[in-house]
Amino acid sequence: MNETKTYNIRNVSFIIFVVFCIQFTELKVGVIKVAEILLLLLTPFIFYRKVNKWILLFIILFTSWFLVSILLNPFREFYPLSNVSALKRPYLISLGRFLELISCVNLTALVHNFFKKKTRQEMMLIIKQIYILSFIILSLFILIYFLFTVGFISENRFVYERIPRLRGWYAEGGPYGLMLSFTFCLSYFFKYKYNAIFRVIIVLAIIFLAKSKAGILLIIAWFTLLYYKRLYRKIRSLNIIVIVIGGLIASVVFVKLADTYIVSIQNVRKEMVERPEDINLIMGRIAGLYIFPDMLMEHPFFGIGLGNYPIMRNNPAYLDFVPPSPPGKTDAHGFGGIIQILVDGGIVMLFSFFTIIYFFLKRLKNQDHTLKIYLYIFLGLFAFGVQIYFLYPWVLFGILITLSNKPKRV
């Protein structure tokens, strides 16, 4: 297929829309994301034909999750937030999260429907265009970042904090860095003469501009999964003494890091008591570390209910020394989609989710091994901090569903 043939109205519209869903997650009308509104409006056009079985399984899973949440909500104790949108109230917050999950499924179905009649080569060309357009947007954000740091422009939406940190159209630099690592991994679907340069720029942006530890960890995970067999052969060929010494050094480093982490947590307990109005301290991942385990212990099987974390978080039984969230602020535990399924849906929903993933992994067993790695990256995004209702991981799942139905690459 000639690359110029990808530039027809249908293909270009698809590329622009997918990139919009990937890049502009925080573009909202009030508290509602624009991309999700558009995807929900497209529902009749996406599902007017036969629904792929993997997509149908996720529709069933998310619908069951929502219905179980609504049925069990009367038996839960809520602590509604003040000065927030009505959509953050009990029941409505569950409905809102459900619609967000359906928009994710819709995006998966849209990607699959668009690609399923195209050849593998045609798919790769369009994925490459998605990647290039994403990189162009990153380049613009990098320019804005440097114009901001030299004082040419004043404070703007794309850079935040006293120490400048690039966040694009995301809430924070960490999630933005994870999205950049996702686009980094996309580049391995195809060959492109500028890939090496683009990848280096993306990695530098993650490390020095977005300052995203999770983004770097995902790239490390990608290379580990991609080359683990080669690494294993190299390690196995080493002298046993070298392996033992290396293991001891790694153990010492791990213990040291763990000790530092424990000390930091102990200091946080003290700081929260001293600074109960510091929003950056009392909300998010640090507070969630103390709150969500108690939630899980009290609601192990079906969880606290879809989306209910912010309105159950202020329960004194969960807070311990953590201050309640202040008026007008909505908290999230910040530990990603896997933990979110466990906390909001309990063991039942998490088991159901991984059952679907397990059987899909078996579906990929006769495919290129790289597709399995991409499925692990799909899960890795949620494990490293991406919420289950973020759109861009579901683009990847739509691509994998389509490739799983195509002849194996030779």
CA separation for the pair 403, 121 (Å, rounded): 11
pLDDT grade for 323, boundaries at 50, 70 and 90:
confident
* Amino acid residing at 389: Y
- Reported as type and span, the H/E element at residue 159 is strand 159-160
83-103 per-position pLDDT tens digit: 888 888 999 999 999 999 999
pLDDT for the residue 149: 86
Burial class (CB in 10 A: 0-12, 13-18, 19+), 188: middle
* Amino acid residing at 188: Y
Q: Which of 133-147, 274-288, 328-342, 383-397 has the lowest mean pLDDT?
A: 274-288
Give the tokens for residue 139.
């380049």
CA angle 330, 335, 339 (to 5 degrees): 105
Q: What is the CA radius of gyration of the chain?
A: 22
CB 350 within 8 A of CB 64: no
Q: Which of 120-134, 142-156, 244-258 has the lowest mean pLDDT?
A: 244-258
How confident is the prediction for the chain on average, in pLDDT?
A: 88
- Sign of CA pseudo-dihedral 64, 67, 71, 76: positive
CB 331 within 8 A of CB 295: no
Give the tokens for residue 375.
């499925």
CA angle 100, 106, 111 (to 5 degrees): 135
Residue 28 phi, psi dihedral angles, 5° rounding: -130, 160
End-to-end C-alpha distance for the chain, whole angstroms: 18
Give the tokens for residue 135.
């990189």
CA distances from 346 to 96, 137, 295, 300, 342 (A): 19, 38, 10, 5, 4
CB 67 within 8 A of CB 131: no
CA distances from 112 to 63, 115, 264 (A): 21, 5, 45
Among residues 159, 119, 112, which one has the least CA distance to residue 398? 112
Phi-psi region of 215 (alpha: psi -120 to 50; beta: other; left: phi over 0): alpha
pLDDT grade for 286, boundaries at 50, 70 and 90:
confident
- 299 CB neighbour count, 10 Å cutoff: 21
- 28 CB neighbour count, 10 Å cutoff: 14
pLDDT at 321 over 90: no
pTM of the model: 0.90
CB 389 within 8 A of CB 97: yes
Find the DSSP H helices in 187-299: 195-204, 213-236, 240-274, 279-282, 285-298
What percent of the chain is helix, strand and coil (3-state, nearest 5)? 70, 0, 30
Q: Is 406 helix (H, G, I), strand (E, B) or coil?
A: coil
CA separation for the pair 282, 60 (Å, rounded): 36
Average pLDDT, stretch 338-349?
96
Percent of the chain with pLDDT over 70: 86
Higher-pLDDT residue of 30, 39: 39
Higher-pLDDT residue of 232, 391: 391
